[in-house]
A and B are shown apart, each in its own frame.
Chain A
Amino acid sequence: MEALKPNEGLGMEKNITKYRDNILYQPILKTGKTFYLSFAILSLVVLFAAFAYFKQFKYGLGVSGLNSPIFWGVYITNFVFFIGVSHAGTLISAILRISKAEWRRSITRSAEVITVLVLFFGLGNILIDLGRIDRLMIVILHGRFQSPLLWDVVSLTTYLTASSVYLFLPLIPDIALLRDRLPPGFRKSFYEVLSLGWAGTEKQIHYLEKGISIMAVTVLPIAVSVHTVVSYVFSMTVQPMWHSSIFGPYFVAGAIFSGIAGIIVAMAFLRKVYHLEGYFRDVHFNYLGILLLVMTCLWFYFTFCEYITVFYGNEPMEMSIFMEKMSGKYAPQFWLMVITCFVIPFTILANNRTRNVTGTVIASISVNIGMWLERFTIVVPTLMHPRLPYELGIYSPTWVEWAILMGCFALFTMIYMVFTKLFPIVSLWEVQEGREKAHGEVAERLSTYLPPS
Chain B
Amino acid sequence: MKEGNESIRKKVILGLQISLLCCFYLFALGVFTFLACAIYRSVVNHDHPVHAIVLSSVITCAFLIITSVMTMVFTVIIKEGQRNARENGGAAHEGNI
A residues contacting B by CB (< 8 A) are 6-12, 140, 142-146, 150-151, 154-155, 157-158, 161-162, 165, 169, 172, 176, 180, 189, 192-193, 195-199, 201, 203-204, 207-208, 210-211, 214-215, 218, 222
Contact = CB atoms under 8 A, between A and B. Distances in A.
A215 B81 CA distance: 22
A334 B48 CA distance: 40
A165 B13 contact: no
A196 B69 contact: no
Most chain-B Cβ atoms within 10 A of its Cβ — which of A11, A151, A158, A208?
A158
Contact of A199 (B52, B69, B72, B81): B81
Given A196-B81, A198-B81, A154 B93 contact: no
A145 B51 CA distance: 6
A214 B27 CA distance: 20
Contacts of B94: 9-10
Contact of B66 (A155, A197, A203, A218): A218
Contacts of B82: 197
A203 B76 contact: yes
A154 B41 CA distance: 16
Contacts of A218: 62, 65-66, 69
Contacts, number: 121
Contacts of B26: none
Binding site of B, secondary structure by majority: helix, strand, loop or mixed? helix
Contacts of A210: 72
A410 to B, nearest CB: 28
Nearest to A199: B84
Nearest to B51: A145
Nearest to B75: A207
A211 to B, nearest CB: 4
Contacts of A189: 9, 13
Given A207-B76, A222-B62, 14 more contacts: A140-B34, A144-B42, A145-B52, A145-B56, A161-B31, A169-B73, A193-B16, A198-B81, A198-B92, A201-B80, A204-B77, A211-B73, A218-B65, A218-B69
B17 interface: yes
B1 interface: no
A203 B77 CA distance: 8
26 contacts: A8-B96, A10-B91, A11-B97, A143-B38, A144-B41, A144-B47, A146-B48, A146-B51, A150-B38, A155-B59, A161-B27, A161-B63, A161-B66, A162-B62, A169-B73, A172-B73, A172-B77, A196-B74, A197-B17, A199-B80, A203-B76, A207-B72, A211-B69, A214-B65, A218-B65, A222-B62
A10 B93 contact: yes
| Closest 8 pairs between A and B when the two form their complex, measured CB to CB | A197-B81, A9-B93, A9-B96, A145-B52, A207-B76, A211-B73, A199-B84, A196-B77
Most chain-A Cβ atoms within 10 A of its Cβ — which of B14, B52, B91, B93?
B93
Nearest to B39: A145
Given A144-B42, A161-B27, A197 B77 contact: yes
B69 A10 contact: no
B84 A201 contact: yes
B81 A211 contact: no
Most chain-A Cβ atoms within 10 A of its Cβ — which of B17, B63, B96?
B96
Contact of A207 (B20, B42, B55, B73): B73
